[in-house]
């Protein structure tokens, strides 16, 4: 039997009809948040990463019903083409976006890190991106991009 889920997505309050067994990933994509990517669907690749109450989580291993009254941020909520978030800009500047499939999740994991630790070490960035797999790159550029974004966000660049 369907139920109504009350959530805030990217700052907008929503009431969404869901089935009790639906996972959050599928609900978000159905609602049009296609930046939430469907990869492994078993919690290992990180392409479905979102911020749930400001914490990076994998939306494929959460029931939508578990997010009642929560705040959700997807990649659509953190920047636009004309006004990108500093992390998005740094990924572009460093040239580390290839196919792009992993990038939304990776940027949200990086945002989660920088919101809590504005001056991370390289190892701390590595740890933060540990759950986000990329088939195209060697990760070093993305780590460099996060460190560059951190400097911009600290007002140093
Ligand atoms: S699709 Fe969720 S971790 Fe891979
Ligand atoms: S850029 Fe293609 S999977 Fe990461």
What is the tens place of the pLDDT at every residue in 89-99? 999 999 999 99
pTM of the model: 0.96
In tens, the pLDDT along 130-153 reads 999 999 998 999 999 999 999 999
The domain 86-153: what is its CATH number? Answer: 1.10.150.120
Q: Is the pLDDT of residue 1 over 90?
A: no
Q: Is the pLDDT of residue 157 over 90?
A: no
In tens, the pLDDT along 63-90 reads 999 999 999 999 999 999 999 999 999 9
State the closest ligand 1 atom to the C-alpha of 61, by its place in the atom list counted from 1: 2
Q: Is the CB of 58 under 6 A from ligand 1?
A: yes
Ligand 2 pocket, Cβ-based, cut-off 6 angstroms: 97-102, 134-137
Nearest CA to ligand 2 atom 2: 99
In tens, the pLDDT along 100-134 reads 999 999 999 999 999 999 999 999 999 999 999 99
Is the domain 3-77 a CATH 3.10.20.30 member?
A: yes
Give the per-residue pLDDT at 46. Answer: 98
State the closest ligand 2 atom to the C-alpha of 99, by its place in the atom list counted from 1: 2
**Can you give the residue ranges of every domain in the chain?**
3-77, 86-153
Burial class, 13, CB count within 10 angstroms (exposed 0-12 / middle 13-18 / buried 19+): exposed
* Ligand that comes closest to the CA of residue 139: 2
In tens, the pLDDT along 17-53 reads 999 999 999 999 999 999 999 999 999 999 999 999 9
DSSP 18-75: E-TT-BHHHHHHHTT-TTS--S-SSSSS-TTEEEETTEEEEGGGSBGGGGTT-EEE-G
Give the per-residue pLDDT at 34. Answer: 98
* Ligand that comes closest to the CA of residue 61: 1
> Which phi and psi (to 5°) does residue 34 adopt?
-80, -5
Give the per-residue pLDDT at 142. Answer: 97
Torsion of CA 7, 13, 18, 21, to 10 degrees: -10
Band (15; pLDDT cuts 50, 70, 90): very high
């Amino acid at each position: 039997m369907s139920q109504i889920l009350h959530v805030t997505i990217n700052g907008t309050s929503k009431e969404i009809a869901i089935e009790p067994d639906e996972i959050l990933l599928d609900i978000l994509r159905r609602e049009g948040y296609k930046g939430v990517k469907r990869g492994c669907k078993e919690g290992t690749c990180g392409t479905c990463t979102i911020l749930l109450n400001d914490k990076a989580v994998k939306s494929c291993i959460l029931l939508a019903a578990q997010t009642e009254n929560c705040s959700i941020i997807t990649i659509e909520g953190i920047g636009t083409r004309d006004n990108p978030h500093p992390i998005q800009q740094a990924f572009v500047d460093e040239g580390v976006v290839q196919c792009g499939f992993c990038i939304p999740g990776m940027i949200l994991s990086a945002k989660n890190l920088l919101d809590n630790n504005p001056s991370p070490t390289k190892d701390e960035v590595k740890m933060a991106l540990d759950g986000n797999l990329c088939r195209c790159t060697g990760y070093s550029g993305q780590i460099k991009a996060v460190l560059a974004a951190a400097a911009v966000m600290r007002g140093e660049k």
